[in-house]
Amino acid sequence: MKHYRFDMKIKKEFLNSPTREVKVDIENIYKFNNSFGIERNWMILDKHNSIKKIKRLLLPDKMIMLTSFLTHDNSIIKDYLIYIDFGKYLTNGNIIEFEDLELDIIIKKDGSFEIDDIDELIDEYEKHHIKKNEFFTILKYETNLINKFEKFNPINTLIEETNDIALKWLINLG
């Protein structure tokens, strides 16, 4: 599982995962109602190096973190509009932490969406890395979002989950 730590005072994003530890500068931080937008350049890694810039919308009162990418034209993720990570937040002063619980939804530019990594969520639960109540809460939240996506479309649903200004900031990468 991945663990993110955002230090809003020194403008740094830290990522710990089974394969790497990353520390990168945050260029800009934006405060929306109950959320924070962060924007940074992409750090060269072993995968996904077709990305130029990344934006994240941190929603500490929800169970999701939204990410958008500005990519090169040849990117394998060029059709992604919003990548939704499901997890849990912990905030302490200027520090916002997000523990990614593996379940993701990818919203594409054509308005379609796909569920990703549900098998990883189940594996982590079966290994007892995710508590039973967290597991079922995440599944319930995801199911609720998907039902709303199908009824209202993903963008309108995410506007309701966040707010219009924050979501427009996230997907305006021009």
The structural domains of the chain, ordered by start, are 3-171 (2.40.380.10)
User: d(Cα 169, Cα 173) in Å, to the nearest integer?
Assistant: 8
Residue 5 has pLDDT above 70, yes or no: yes
Q: Mean pLDDT for the chain?
A: 92
- What number is the average pLDDT over the span 42-55? 73
User: d(Cα 35, Cα 64) in Å, to the nearest integer?
Assistant: 11
Tally of CB atoms within 10 A around 157: 21
CA torsion 95-96-100-105 (nearest 10°) is -150
Amino acid at 49: N
Burial of 12 (0-12, 13-18, 19+ CB in 10 A): middle
- pLDDT digits over 61-103, tens only? 999 999 999 887 888 888 999 999 999 999 999 999 999 999 9
